[in-house]
Amino acid sequence: MQVQINNLFYAYPGGINALNGISFSIEPGEQVAIVGQNGAGKTTLARHLNGLLQPTSGQLTIGGWDTRSVSVAKLASRVGYVFQNPDEQLFCKTVGVEVAFGPKNLHYSPQRIDELVSEALALTELTEKRDINPYDLSPTGRKMVALASIISMDTPIVIFDEPTTGQDAASVARIASVIAHLRKHGKTVITITHDIDFCAENFERVIALSQGQVLLDGSANEVLGQQEILARTYVDPPQLTRLGIRLGIPGTIRSQVEFLAAYRTLTSKD
């Protein structure tokens, strides 16, 4: 299911121009990270993708549906949106009921709902927490419930808004494995993130936004190596890339494995 954005402008009531002519498309099954400084327009753009906001001008289509002409409820069958703050998303009394809410609303069969809920709970390591109130869980636990309750909807497109903020290393690894699972199942994943190391390790395409415009759009290797242009939106390349640059290693280093291989090659030349 293709996402197509064509010359999208959005001004908030009151006059702030948050998006200023955004165009790009995302192919089915692509996994894209959207990065940029505070106020760059990332969340505003994400809220257009699930129809919570409508373009002031320009066009956005999801699998051929113009978001202006379909309801938010209908769009929910195609786009799942994991909120940055789980407390804005969760409202049910137990984890199990919360995770079943989305697929029930999409009128899936009871059997499919059971399967999807069990799978989402297993993936987020919440199977044992089914009968617990989400508000009795830790912030990490609530984040996992927020993820599970969107994954269970089985939408072709999933959006994560700042998934790793405030999460410890174990939880970040679990979020990465959820994204890998979605990739394996051919889902389109769009992730808004400040966490450039997480972006480097998990995404093949990166779009950098600045002041409501696309500053860079390309493969992670291309985009994350552009230190000077990224600096315009106050984004530093990943730590390992910067270390590589300081050591004189060419290219964009995105993971520890890549770093070790490049470092071995470098030192074996000495």
Residues 83-96: b if buried by 16+ CB within 10 A, e if exposed: bbebeebbeeebbb
Q: Which among ligand ATP, Mg ion, none contacts residue 40 (Cβ within 5 to 8 A by kind)?
A: ligand ATP
The span from the CA of 104 to the CA of 97, in Å, is 10
Cβ atoms within 10 Å, residue 215: 20
Contact status: 206 vs ligand ATP (CB under 6 A):
no
Tell me which stretch binds ligand ATP (CB under 6 A): 8-16, 67-75, 108-116, 147-155.
8-16
Q: Which of 7, 16, 74, 110 binds ligand ATP (CB under 6 A)?
A: 16
Contact status: 39 vs ligand ATP (CB under 6 A):
yes
Contact status: 225 vs ligand ATP (CB under 6 A):
no
The span from the CA of 164 to the CA of 172, in Å, is 6
Contact status: 207 vs ligand ATP (CB under 6 A):
no
Q: Which among Mg ion, ligand ATP, none contacts residue 55 (Cβ within 5 to 8 A by kind)?
A: none
Residue closer to ligand ATP by CB (options 208, 253) is 208
Does residue 13 contact residue 171 with C-beta atoms inside 8 Å? no
Does residue 263 contact residue 270 with C-beta atoms inside 8 Å? no
Contact status: 43 vs Mg ion (CB under 5 A):
yes
Q: Which of 5, 31, 33, 43 binds ligand ATP (CB under 6 A)?
A: 43
Task: List the structure tokens of 178.
Answer: 């959820």
Strand-strand pairing, 157-161 and 79-82: parallel
Contact status: 44 vs ligand ATP (CB under 6 A):
yes
Contact status: 31 vs Mg ion (CB under 5 A):
no
Residue closer to Mg ion by CB (options 47, 181) is 47
Residue 15 C-beta: closest distance to ligand ATP, Å: 9
Q: Is 263 exposed, middle or buried (0-12, 13-18, 19+ CB in 10 A)?
A: middle
**Residues interacting with ligand ATP, by CB under 6 A?**
12, 14, 16, 18, 36, 38-44
